[in-house]
Amino acid sequence: MKKTVVILVLVLIAFITAVYIVFGDQYKAATSVHFVTEGMYEYTFEGDYGLDDLMAEGGAASSDDLVRFVTKFLTHGLVNPEPSKDISRDFGCSSICAPCTNGTFCVGRNFDWPGANGDLVIVHSHPKTGYSSIASFYIPFLGFGDNWKPESMQDKLMLLASLFGALDGMNEKGLYVADLVAGDQDETHQDSGKPNVTTTLAIRLLLNKAANVEEALQLLNTYDHHSDVGFAHHLAISDAEGRNVVVEWVDNKMLVTESALCTNHYLAPSSKQGSSLYYEDSHRRFDMLQNWRDSLPAMTKEQLTQGISSVASKEYTRWTVVFDRKTMSATYYQNADFSQPYVAFIKREL
Q: What is the pLDDT of residues 58-72, one digit of tens each?
A: 999 998 888 888 877
pLDDT reading at 337 higher than 90: yes
Q: Which of 89, 117, 80 is nearest to 278 (CA)?
A: 89
> Domain range for residue 282?
33-80+90-345
Considering the domain boundaries, does residue 10 fall inside one?
A: no
Q: So what's the pLDDT on residue 12?
A: 30
Q: How far is CA 61 from CA 21, 88, 169, 201, in A?
A: 30, 20, 21, 9
Considering the domain boundaries, does residue 218 fall inside one?
A: yes
Considering the domain boundaries, does residue 16 fall inside one?
A: no
Backbone dihedral angles phi then psi of residue 75, each to the nearest 5 degrees: -115, 0
In whole angstroms, give the CA distance from residue 87 to residue 228.
11
Considering the domain boundaries, does residue 180 fall inside one?
A: yes
| Least confident piece of the model among 2-11, 60-69, 87-96, 153-162 | 2-11
Q: Which of 173, 148, 151, 192 is nearest to 31 (CA)?
A: 151
- Three state DSSP letters for the chain: CHHHHHHHHHHHHHHHHHHHHHHHHHHHHHHHCEEEECCEEEEEEEECCCHHHHHHCCECCCHHHHHHHHHHHHCCCCCCCCCCCCCCCCCEEEEEEEEECCCCEEEEEEEECCCCCCCEEEEEEEECCCCCEEEEEEHHHHCCCCCCCCCCHHHHHHHHHHHHCCCEEEECCCCEEEEEECCCCCCCECCCCCCEEEHHHHHHHHHHHCCCHHHHHHHHCCCEEECCCCCCEEEEEECCCCCEEEEEEECCEEEEEECCEECCCCCCCCCCCCCCCCHHHHHHHHHHHHHHHHHCCCECHHHHHHHHHCCCCCCCEEEEEEEECCCCEEEEEECCEEEEEEEEECCCCC
**pLDDT level of residue 82 (50, 70, 90 thresholds):** low
Backbone dihedral angles phi then psi of residue 138, each to the nearest 5 degrees: -105, 120
Considering the domain boundaries, does residue 168 fall inside one?
A: yes
In whole angstroms, give the CA distance from residue 109 to residue 230.
22
pLDDT reading at 19 higher than 70: no
Considering the domain boundaries, does residue 228 fall inside one?
A: yes
In whole angstroms, give the CA distance from residue 154 to residue 169.
26
Considering the domain boundaries, does residue 5 fall inside one?
A: no
**CATH code: domain of residue 282:** 3.60.60.10
pLDDT reading at 10 higher than 90: no
pLDDT reading at 281 higher than 80: yes
Considering the domain boundaries, does residue 130 fall inside one?
A: yes
| Least confident piece of the model among 80-84, 143-147, 304-308 | 80-84
- Give the pTM: 0.90
Q: Which residues of 96-135 are buried (b: 16+ CB within 10 A; e: fewer)?
A: bbbbbbeebbbbbbbbbbeebebbbbbbbbbbeebbbbbb
Domain count, the chain: 1
